[in-house]
């Protein structure tokens, strides 16, 4: 099974923890791992890195240089089938049957309006109808 990357910013964790007057610095490593597990990160292979990234709770989605936890999304049955929080990418990548995976990818395609607009412009320009 392919693994899906999963990143969580310390900025975001601190934002959520501030609601209970705590920060990541107040927690033990085990407590941090339990929180990450509860939001979908596999406990195996969790690493910390300091990089420029865009936290979800960043004002105006501004980049922030700081720590984030990196790992992979959980692929246990409880997360994938019963939580309702598993990503579609994770469900598709966990499929063993290539035909089933291809069907899921086809059914989950999102419209690409930019591509459709560009193709429409190309057709119009070929016919001389571009104004």
- Return d(Cα 31, Cα 77) in angstroms, integer: 22
Unique residue bearing structure tokens 């105006």: 60
pLDDT of residue 104: 64
Unique residue bearing structure tokens 């700081």: 66
pLDDT of residue 120: 76
Residue extents of the structural domains in the chain? 5-94
φ, ψ at 80 (rounded to 5°)? -70, -40
- Return d(Cα 2, Cα 111) in angstroms, integer: 25
User: Tens digit of pLDDT for each residue in 58-113?
Assistant: 888 899 999 999 999 999 999 988 998 988 788 787 777 777 667 766 766 766 66
In this prediction the pTM is: 0.73
- Return d(Cα 74, Cα 87) in angstroms, integer: 10
- Return d(Cα 36, Cα 131) in angstroms, integer: 54
pLDDT of residue 119: 73
User: Tens digit of pLDDT for each residue in 11-51?
Assistant: 999 999 999 999 999 999 999 999 999 999 999 999 999 99
């Amino acid at each position: 099974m392919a693994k899906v990357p999963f990143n969580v910013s310390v900025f975001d964790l601190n934002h959520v923890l501030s609601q209970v007057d705590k920060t990541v610095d107040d927690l033990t490593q085990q407590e941090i791992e339990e929180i990450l597990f509860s939001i979908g990160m596999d406990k195996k292979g969790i690493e910390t890195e300091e990089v420029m990234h865009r936290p979800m709770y960043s004002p105006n989605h501004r980049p922030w240089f700081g720590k984030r936890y990196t790992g992979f999304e959980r692929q246990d049955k409880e997360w994938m089938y019963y939580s309702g929080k598993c990503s579609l990418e994770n469900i598709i990548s966990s499929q063993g049957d290539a035909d089933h995976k291809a069907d899921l990818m086809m059914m989950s395609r999102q419209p690409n309006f930019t591509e459709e607009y560009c193709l429409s412009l190309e057709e119009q320009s070929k016919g001389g109808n571009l104004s």
